[in-house]
C-alpha cells in the first residue's frame, strides 16, 4: 500500500491526537480511584477474585426485542436470545459450524439437505421440541408476509422444509447452497403455541440453557437455568445482562469491579487494566468488517456517482485512525469485506490508499470541485471508538472539500432509521456487517441491493453474489466471489474502513473462550 507523505498526514494526525487526548481525559475522569496519569491502574489491584453467585455480563446496546425470529446484534439481544433459544446449528467461538438441535447433516443433492435432529430438546415450560416444531418455525420464516427478519435471506434459496420422521428434517432448495448448515445458525426455534399466544418481542420460551426471568429492553435482563435443559448444567444459576451504552459507564463498571465480562472497551482504555490482578484484557481482530454504508437511493445524492464514492475512499486515511485509536491491532480492509484470518482474501484486490489529491481530482470530474455536505449516522456507544473514528474521518474529508455532519443516535432509533425510508435516512451509516463462519459468503448479503438495511444500487454485484451463493462447484464459487469483490471495489458501493477491533475485559474469576464475534452467551462462561 502506498504511504501518504508527511505533509498530508500531519493535519489529520494532529486532529486525531487532539481527539484521543480528549477521550482519555473523559475516560479517566469517569474511573473511580484512577489517576489522570494512569499510575494507579498499573499497580496490582489485589488478590485474584472469586466469582459470585451471579454472572455479570455487560452489553453495549439497548435491546430492541427478544424475538428469536428477528435476529439481533451481538452487543444487545443477540447474546440474550442465543442463551435462551436453540437453532439447528451453532457457530463456535473460532467461527466453525457445529451441531446444536441437529446432530449431523448431509447434502443429498444440489437442492436437498437432510438434517438429523435430537429428540431430547425441551422448552423451559416442559413442552417437547419436536421435528414438527422445527418445520412450523421454518414455514413461518419462509412466509413473505411474516415479520421475522431472519426469514428474508432464507427465502432466496429455501423452497420448503418437511419432516418425514421424528428425527429428520429435509430442506428442499430453490437454489443450491453449499454452506446451508452455516446459514441456519440463528434460525432459532420457538414453541408454536407460545408464539401464537404471546408477544415474543418481549416474552420468551426457549429450549436453550437459560430462561429469561426479567426483561428491561433499555437496561438489560436477568436469566436463570432452563430446568429442562438437556445439556450440561451451566455454571451460574443467576445471570444479569446490563446495558451500559457509553464508554465511560463501561470503564467505571470495570474499575468498580461490578462486571465479569465487558466487551467493546476502547483500546486506549485497556491500558488502565494491563497489570490488574482482577481482570485480563484482550485486543484483537473481529470477524466483521466496519464500513461506511452508502445511501445511493436518496434523491439528488452525489453518492449515486461512482467517482464520488471512489473519492471518499481515497480521502479516508485508515492507517492513521488504526494507529491512533486501535493501537495498530487491525489492518485496513483490502478493498473488500473479505479479510484474513476469517476469509480468504480476493487476490489482486487491494485497499484504497490514502490519496487526497486523487480524491479531489475525482470530485472535480464528477462536478463537485466545490464540495458538498453529507451526514453520517453513528450508533451511540456501540462500536469501538466509533465516535472518535467518525470525527477523524470528518477531519480528513474536510481536506478534500467534503463536510461530514455526524449524528449520534441511540441504537434502537439508529436501527429503525435504517429500516425506514431511504429518502429520510442518513447519507452514510457507520456500521459493522459480515458473516459469522469461515468460508461462507452470506457475509455479502448486507452489501446487496435487496438487504433490509441496504440502500445501494448494485445490480451487477447482486447477480454475482446470487450466482456465487448458488454455485455447486467450490472453484466456480471462488471465481465468482473474487469477481464480485473486484466489482464492489471498483464501483465503491461502500467506504471500506477496517475489520472490527475485538476488545474484552474479563474477570480472572471466570473462564470464557474468547469469541471475537462478540456474542456473549451466558452458557459459555464458567468459574475459574
Per-residue confidence in pLDDT tens, the chain, 528 aa: 333 322 333 344 555 555 544 444 333 333 333 322 233 333 444 677 889 999 999 999 999 999 999 988 899 999 999 999 999 999 999 999 999 999 999 999 999 999 999 999 999 999 999 999 999 999 999 999 998 889 988 998 999 999 999 999 999 999 999 999 999 999 999 999 999 999 999 999 999 999 999 999 999 999 999 999 999 999 999 999 999 999 999 999 999 999 999 999 999 999 999 899 999 999 999 998 999 999 999 999 999 999 999 999 999 999 999 999 999 999 999 999 988 888 888 998 999 999 999 999 999 999 999 999 999 999 887 788 999 999 999 999 999 999 999 998 887 787 788 778 889 889 999 998 877 777 767 778 888 988 878 888 999 999 999 899 888 998 999 999 999 999 999 999 999 999 999 999 999 999 999 999 999 999 999 999
Length of the chain in terms of residues written: 528
- Is residue 491 a contact partner of residue 306, using CB atoms and an 8 Å limit? yes
Strands 220-225 and 238-243, sheet pairing: antiparallel
Cell (9 digits) for 253: 463498571
- Return the CATH number of 210-284+503-514, one of 3.40.50.300, 3.40.50.2000, 3.40.50.2300, 3.40.190.10: 3.40.190.10
User: Boundaries of CATH 3.10.105.10 in the chain?
Assistant: 285-500
Cite the DSSP H helix spans in 223-274.
247-255, 267-270
Q: How far apart are CA 436 and CA 90, in angstroms?
A: 10
Q: How far apart are CA 503 and CA 386, in angstroms?
A: 13
The reported pTM is 0.87
Kindly report, residue by residue over 231-256, the tens digit of the pLDDT. Answer: 999 999 999 999 999 999 999 999 99
Architecture of domain 64-197: Alpha-Beta Complex (3.90)
- Concatenated DSSP letters of 275-334: T-SSEEEEEEEEEEEEEEEE---STT-GGGSHHHHHHHHHT--HHHHHHHHSTT-S----
User: Boundaries of CATH 3.40.190.10 in the chain?
Assistant: 210-284+503-514
Q: How far apart are CA 528 and CA 513, in angstroms?
A: 12
Sign of CA dihedral 282, 288, 294, 295: negative
Exposure class string for 172-199: b at 16+ Cβ within 10 A, else e: ebebbbbbbbbbbbbbbbbbbebbeeee
C-alpha distances out from residue 244 to 76, 218, 226, 435, Å:
10, 10, 26, 25
Cell (9 digits) for 284: 484483537
Nearest to 317 by CA among 353, 263, 368, 341: 353
What is the enclosing helix (H) or strand (E) of 494?
strand 494-507
User: Boundaries of CATH 3.90.76.10 in the chain?
Assistant: 64-197
Architecture of domain 285-500: Roll (3.10)
CA angle 236, 241, 246 (to 5 degrees): 145
Kindly report, residue by residue over 18-62, the tens digit of the pLDDT. Answer: 554 444 433 333 333 332 223 333 344 467 788 999 999 999 999
Amino acid at each position: 500500500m502506498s504511504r501518504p507523505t508527511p505533509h498530508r498526514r500531519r493535519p489529520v494526525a494532529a486532529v486525531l491526537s487532539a481527539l484521543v487526548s480528549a477521550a482519555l481525559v473523559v475516560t479517566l475522569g469517569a474511573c473511580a480511584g484512577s489517576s489522570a496519569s494512569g499510575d494507579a491502574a498499573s499497580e496490582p489491584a489485589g488478590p485474584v477474585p472469586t466469582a459470585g453467585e451471579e454472572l455479570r455480563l455487560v452489553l453495549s446496546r439497548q435491546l430492541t426485542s427478544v424475538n428469536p425470529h428477528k435476529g439481533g446484534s451481538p452487543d444487545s439481544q443477540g447474546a440474550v436470545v442465543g442463551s435462551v433459544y436453540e437453532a439447528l446449528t451453532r457457530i463456535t467461538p473460532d467461527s466453525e459450524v457445529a451441531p446444536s438441535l441437529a446432530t449431523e447433516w448431509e447434502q443429498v443433492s444440489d437442492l436437498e439437505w437432510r438434517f438429523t435432529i435430537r429428540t431430547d430438546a425441551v422448552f423451559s415450560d416442559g413442552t417437547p421440541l419436536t421435528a414438527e416444531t422445527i418445520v412450523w418455525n421454518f414455514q413461518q420464516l419462509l412466509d413473505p408476509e411474516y415479520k421475522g427478519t431472519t426469514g428474508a435471506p432464507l427465502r432466496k434459496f429455501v423452497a420448503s422444509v418437511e419432516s418425514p420422521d421424528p428425527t429428520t428434517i429435509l430442506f428442499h432448495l430453490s437454489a443450491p447452497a453449499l454452506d446451508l448448515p452455516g446459514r441456519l445458525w440463528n434460525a432459532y426455534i420457538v414453541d408454536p403455541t407460545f408464539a401464537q399466544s404471546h408477544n415474543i418481542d418481549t416474552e420468551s420460551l426457549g429450549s436453550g440453557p437459560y430462561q429469561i426471568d426479567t426483561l428491561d429492553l433499555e437496561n438489560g435482563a436477568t436469566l436463570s437455568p432452563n430446568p429442562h435443559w438437556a445439556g450440561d448444567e451451566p455454571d451460574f444459576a443467576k445471570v444479569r445482562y446490563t446495558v451500559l451504552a457509553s464508554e465511560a459507564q463501561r470503564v467505571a463498571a470495570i474499575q468498580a469491579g461490578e462486571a465479569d465480562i465487558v466487551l467493546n472497551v476502547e483500546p486506549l482504555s485497556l491500558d488502565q487494566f494491563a497489570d490488574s490482578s482482577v481482570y485480563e484484557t484482550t485486543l484483537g481482530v473481529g470477524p466483521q468488517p466496519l464500513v461506511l454504508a452508502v445511501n445511493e437511493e436518496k434523491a439528488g445524492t452525489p453518492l449515486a456517482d461512482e467517482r464520488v464514492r471512489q473519492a471518499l475512499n481515497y480521502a479516508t486515511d485508515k492507517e492513521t485512525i488504526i494507529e491512533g485509536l486501535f493501537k495498530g491491532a487491525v489492518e485496513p480492509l483490502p478493498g473488500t469485506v473479505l479479510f484474513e484470518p476469517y476469509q480468504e482474501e480476493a487476490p489482486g484486490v487491494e485497499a484504497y490508499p490514502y490519496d487526497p489529491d486523487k480524491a479531489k481530482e475525482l470530485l472535480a470530474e464528477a462536478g463537485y470541485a466545490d464540495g458538498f455536505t453529507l451526514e453520517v449516522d453513528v450508533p451511540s456507544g456501540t462500536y469501538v471508538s466509533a465516535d472518535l473514528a467518525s470525527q477523524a474521518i470528518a477531519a480528513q474529508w474536510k481536506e478534500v472539500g467534503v463536510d461530514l455532519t455526524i449524528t449520534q443516535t441511540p441504537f434502537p432509533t439508529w436501527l429503525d432509521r435504517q429500516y425506514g425510508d431511504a429518502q429520510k435516512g442518513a447519507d452514510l451509516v457507520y456500521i459493522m456487517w459480515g458473516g459469522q463462519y469461515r468460508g461462507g459468503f452470506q457475509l455479502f448479503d448486507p452489501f446487496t441491493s435487496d438487504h433490509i438495511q441496504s440502500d445501494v444500487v448494485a445490480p451487477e454485484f447482486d447477480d454475482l453474489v446470487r450466482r456465487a451463493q448458488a454455485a455447486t462447484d467450490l472453484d466456480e464459487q471462488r471465481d465468482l466471489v473474487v469477481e464480485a469483490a473486484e466489482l464492489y471495489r471498483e464501483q465503491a458501493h461502500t467506504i471500506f474502513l477496517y475489520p472490527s477491533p475485538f476488545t474484552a475485559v474479563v474477570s480472572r474469576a471466570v473462564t470464557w473462550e474468547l469469541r471475537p464475534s462478540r456474542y456473549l452467551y451466558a452458557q459459555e462462561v464458567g468459574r475459574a
